[in-house]
Amino acid sequence: MTVNITTLGELIKESHECALQHGWWDNIKPKPILEKIALIHSELSEALEELRKGQTPTAVYHEEGETKMYVPYYPMGKHKPEGVPVELADAVIRVADLAGRYEFDLGNPDFKISNSQLYSAQEIEEHKKWAGDPIDGIDYLHNLLTPASRAMRDGSGLVRLSGELGFFVLGIYAYCMVHSIDLPGAINMKCEYNRSRSYRHGGKSA
């Protein structure tokens, strides 16, 4: 694996540069932030679908025909990774791309994304109240993201947006800690795969 992101600042730089190189900011709407937030919601919904299909919160796999190949995070090679960890990583990558585009902070840029001390054991127990059930936890993450849209609709601006998105990312970290998901591993894996994708793959507009 050539991608080895260790800090929040590195993640923001990598996510936005990759998005620029692949055309996701070309010919955009005058005010694309709400669309970008909707796409973050879509990643959460894809995580929900993985759970509804019977995948465990930690499972990562790629598909070969009709066969699902369950693999460790490394190496993935050219295969598109799938699973709840990957969809949550996609959500964080999209947030980081927005932060890079609009130059706002999500927190300390030197924050280690592998920080295992982000929450105490007592705090993790508290998070289990909303994240203990994997599907209910995804619903809660949708709720954490909603204020980011509200910040743009009511004219609060980028300062509030950055705060709401930072809080949302902390929620994803909490969910992953409750379910023993290797979020940093999934982020690095998906960033590497994203580098290999074609320009505006899938004919998408954003």
The single-letter code of the amino acid at 171 is: G
Per-residue pLDDT tens for 53-93?
Answer: 999 999 999 877 677 777 665 455 577 899 999 999 999 99
Structure tokens at 115: 């920080």
Per DSSP, 53 falls in state T
Burial of 23 (0-12, 13-18, 19+ CB in 10 A): middle
Who has greater pLDDT, 37 or 30?
37
pLDDT in tens, 107-158: 888 888 887 777 888 888 888 999 999 999 999 999 999 999 999 999 888 9
pLDDT at residue 77, as a whole number: 59
Q: Is the pLDDT of residue 19 over 90?
A: yes
Residue 30 has pLDDT above 70, yes or no: no
Name which of 28-32, 71-75, 197-201 the model is least confident about. 71-75
Which parts of the chain fold into alpha helices (H)?
8-21, 33-52, 84-102, 121-131, 134-153, 158-178, 183-195
Count CB atoms within 10 A of the CB of residue 95. 26
Mean pLDDT of the chain: 89
In 53-120, alpha helices (H) = 84-102
User: Cβ(60)–Cβ(186) under 8 Å?
Assistant: yes
